[in-house]
Amino acid sequence: MKTRALSAMAFSLLALPAAADEISPNCNGPEFRQLDFWVGDWNLTWQGNTGTNHIKKSLESCVIEENFNGRPGQHLMGHSVSMYDARAANWKQTWVDNEGGYIALSGGPQKDGTFVLATEPGPKGGRSRMVFENIKQDSFVWRWQSSMDGQTWKDQWVIDYARKKQS
């Protein structure tokens, strides 16, 4: 009986979806590189404030980790992990911070050259999103926006990113 149960369990593990075989175990397809522009050390400025952001790749380059420090301009400090989900064919990000915030976002590159990650609609239909735009090698603009209808977006926070110079 015990052997039969173990055999059934082993068979069920082998019968996991075949889609897993189609996903690059090393995350080395071009879609896994779409957020690489963000990797590095950044000086941030917004509304007369300054902060920093350190973005690195981890877990065999499958995950992009963010360590945001809004100080001295703002109390907010946060951490996010982002990854390309090949099964869903989009990017997923989870954000947590020192103010008890938790945000789940998904999205990816847009036809207009921006990179957008957005929340699912809330109970009242409202959504939030981050937009990376004017992306260059050493700079870009990041926007946190909100919308009540998912069509009209209003800036809540705009940050200018400038890559730190290597010494």
In this predicted model, what pLDDT tens digit does every residue of 95-121 receive, in sequence order? 999 999 999 999 999 999 999 999 999
Residue 4 domain-assigned (yes or no): no
Residue 150 phi, psi (nearest 5): 75, 5
Q: Under a CB-based contact definition with an 8 Å cutoff, are residues 124 and 4 in contact?
A: no
Range with lowest mean pLDDT among 58-62, 95-99, 114-118, 161-165: 58-62
**CATH number reported for the structural domain that contains residue 154 in this entry:** 2.40.128.20
Residue 134 domain-assigned (yes or no): yes
CA angle 76, 77, 80 (to 5 degrees): 125
For the question of whether the overall pTM of this predicted structure is more than 0.85, the answer is no
Residue 76 domain-assigned (yes or no): yes
Burial profile 22-31: b = 16 or more Cβ within 10 angstroms, e = fewer: eeeeebeeeb
Residue given tokens 């919308």 in the structure block? 147
Residue 74 domain-assigned (yes or no): yes
Residue 61 domain-assigned (yes or no): yes
Residue 38 domain-assigned (yes or no): yes
Domain limits for position 127: 28-163
Residue 15 domain-assigned (yes or no): no
How many domains does one find in the chain?
Answer: 1
Total residue count of the chain as it appears in this document: 167
Residue 13 domain-assigned (yes or no): no
Helices (H) and strands (E) in the chain, counts: 2, 10
